[in-house]
Structure 1
Amino acid sequence: MSDRSDIWSLGVIMIEIVSGVHPFSGMTAAETVPNIIAGKMNGLPKDIQGDLKQMIIWMLTHDPSKRPSTEQLLESDLMQLVAKIETRNSTQISELESKVQQEKRRADLAVSEKDRLQVELNRANTEKDRLQVELNRANTEKDRGRQEKQRAQSEKDRLQVELNRANTDKDRLQVELDRERQEKERAQSEKNQEKQRANNAEELTAVFQQQVERTHSEVTRLTTENQQLKAELSRRETVPSTPKVQLKQTPVPTPKPKQSLIQITSSPQPITVNLQVPTGMSGHKKQNIFKHDNTEAYCTITSDPIISDGIVYYETVFEKHDGNWAFGIGIADSTVVFQPNNLPDEDGNNEKTVGYYSG
C-alpha cells in the first residue's frame, strides 16, 4: 500500500460522493472485484465535467505509477481553487461562527427574555389561577346563594301549600260549623215550632174546654128552665075552673125548637171529610188522598163539610215533601173560589183566608 493507493481510493470516494455509486461496481460483489483488478471503470456521471473529470480519471488510472502524487494534486489548479475555496469557506465559517455566536448570544438573550417572559407568564398564570380560584369561589358562593334562594322559595312554596291546606281545612270546618249552626238553628226552629204548636194546642184545648164548660152551663140552664116550664104547666092544668074564679089561662109559649146541639165531650167526634179538588189543579184525588204531580205548580184544595159553628179538630198529613217545598193549612170563607197554580191568598182572597205554612 502506498500513497498512490490512497489517491485511487480518494478518487473512488469522490465519485461515490457525487453519484452515490461505486465506479467499479458490478451486478454482484464477485463482479466488482475483477473490475477493480482489471481497471474496468463504469462511465462517470454527467455531473462530473472539466478539470474535475480529468483529475478523477488521472487519480483512478490503473497503473499506480501513472497516478498523480499528493504534491501534484495539491499543486494542481483545481486543488488551488479548492484551497482558495477552503480558505474562503474557512473565513466564511469563521464569520458564520461569529454570527452563530452572536446569534447564540442573541438566542441566550432571547432565552433570558423568554425565561423572563416565562416567569412573567407563570406569574400571570399564577395570578390567573388565583383569579380563577376567586371566580370559582364567587361562582360557588353564587350557586350556594342561588341554592339557598331556591331552598327558601321551596320552603315558601311548602308553607304556602300548608297555608292553603290550612285555609281549605278552615273553610271546610267553617262550612261544617255553618252547617251545624244551621242544623242547630233548624232544630231550634223546629223545637220552637213544636213548642208553638204545643202552645197552640194548649190554647185550643183551653178554648175547647171553655167552650165545653159554657156549653154544659147552657145545657144545664136550658134543662132547668125546661123543668120549670113543665112544672108550671102541670100546676096550671090541675087548678079547677069556677065562674067566680076563672083564671085566664094564658098559653105558655112553647119554645121554638132550637137546632139540635151536638153532645160535646172531652173527646173529638169524627166527621166525614170530602176533598174538593178544583179543575186544573196539578194533581189527582184518590179517596181522601191528593197526589201532587211532579211539577212546581201550586195546588189549593178544600174539604167538606163547611164549618159554621163550634170547634173542629182537623188533622192532615203531608208526605214525601223532599226539597224546600212548603205546605200549609188554613180556614177560608165558603164563598172563596181557588184557582189552579195560585196560592190560597191570591186572586183577591187575602181578606177571606187565614193560613199557617210550614218552614
Structure 2
Amino acid sequence: MKKGEFVMLEKVKKFLQIFLISLLFAVIIFYLTSCIGYVKVLVVAPLSSDTKEAGESTVNGIRLKVDELNKSGGIIGKRIKVYVVDDKGDPDSATQSIRDVLSKNNFIGIVGAPFSRIAIPVSEVCEDFKIPFVTSVATNPLVTKGKEFSFRACFTDDLQGVALAHFVYEYLGLRVGGVFYDIDDTYSVYLAEKFRIQFENLGGHIVAFYPHPHKPVTVEFPIQKMLEKKVQFVFNPDLYVDASMVYTELRKQNFTGPVIFGDGVDAPQLLARIGKPFNVYYVSHYSRDSEKLIKFSETYKETFKMDPDVEACLAYDAMGILATAIEKANSFDKVKIKDALENLTYDGITGKIEFKNSNDPTKPLYFYGFKNFIPSEVWVFGDK
C-alpha cells in the first residue's frame, strides 16, 4: 500500500470513528430528551381586568395541578410547562393573542378562560387550530355547542337556570320576583333569560326584567323601579364585582328579601366586598364538605396564603381532566386527546365529572346561603 493511500485510509477510519461517536451521542440526547423533555399547555386567564382575582386564581389552580403532575413524573414521560395568556377581559384581544401564540408554538391543549364572553371566541379559535380546550368555569352552552375540541369542567347555564328556578320556587317558596342582569355580558344575559323562562314555566311571575350596562355600572334607578313592583326576591346573574354593587344598592334602598346569585360570585370574593351578607344565596359547583376539596384547600392556602375560590378549584380540575385524557390516549396527538375526552370520567376535587356522549359533564349543583356570614350548604339539585 502506498503511503498516500495509507494516510487516506487512516483519515477515513478517523472520520468514521468521529461519525459513530457523534451518532451515538445524538441517539443518547434524543433518548434523554424524549424521556425528560416537556410539553406545553396554554392557560388563558384575565390578569389585567376588573376580574383579575379570578384570573390569578385560575392560574394558581392550574399551576398547582401541574406541579403535582410533574413531581410524579409528568404525563407519559413528559413534564408540563405552562404558558399564560392574559385575556384582559376583552374577547378581541384574547383571540388575537391566542392565534398569535398558537401559530408560533406547539401546545397540546388550552385550559382556563373562566368567563363565557372570552371562552366562546376561544373555543372557535380552538376549532380552527384543532386543539383540545377545557374551560374551567365558563357555563354558557355556546362554549361547546357544535364544537369538537371544546369541553368544560363545570355545568352549563341551561342546567343552572333550571336549578335556580326550582330553588326559588320550591326551596324558598317565592312566586313574584325581579331579574337584574348585565346587558353586555353573554353569561349574564343568557342565564337571566333561562331563569325567567323556567321560573314562569313553574308558575312564578317575573314582574321586572331589567338590564344594566357593563361599564359604567349604573344600578340605582333600575333597582328603584324594580322595587316599586313589590318583588319578593331579586335574581342577579352578575359576576362578583358587579354583584356586590347590586347587593349593596338593594340593601341601601331597604330591600330585605332574598338576593340570589348564580355561580358568578364566590364566597371569599363576595365577602371581601359586602362584609356581612344577609338573606343571600348563590350556586356552587361543589360541596365544601368534600374530603378531597378540604385537602386541596389546605394545600392551596399553604401555597398561596389565601383560600381557593371556584375559579381555582375548577381550574385545578380542568387541568386534571386534560392530563387524564392524555394518559387515556397515551399520546400527545391533539385529535387522539380530543377523542379521549369524549366519554371520560374524572374524579376531581369538585366531584365526579362525567362526559356522557357530550362535551358538557353531568354533575350536581349546590346552593349556599350564609350562617353567621359563613357559607352554608342549603340545597342540592341533581344526584350527588
Q: Normalising to structure 1: TM-score of the pair?
A: 0.23
- Structure with bigger strand share is 2
Name the larger-Rg structure.
1
Kindly indicate whether structure 1 or structure 2 has the higher relative contact order, using CA contacts under 8 Å at least 6 residues apart.
2
- Structure with bigger helix share is 1
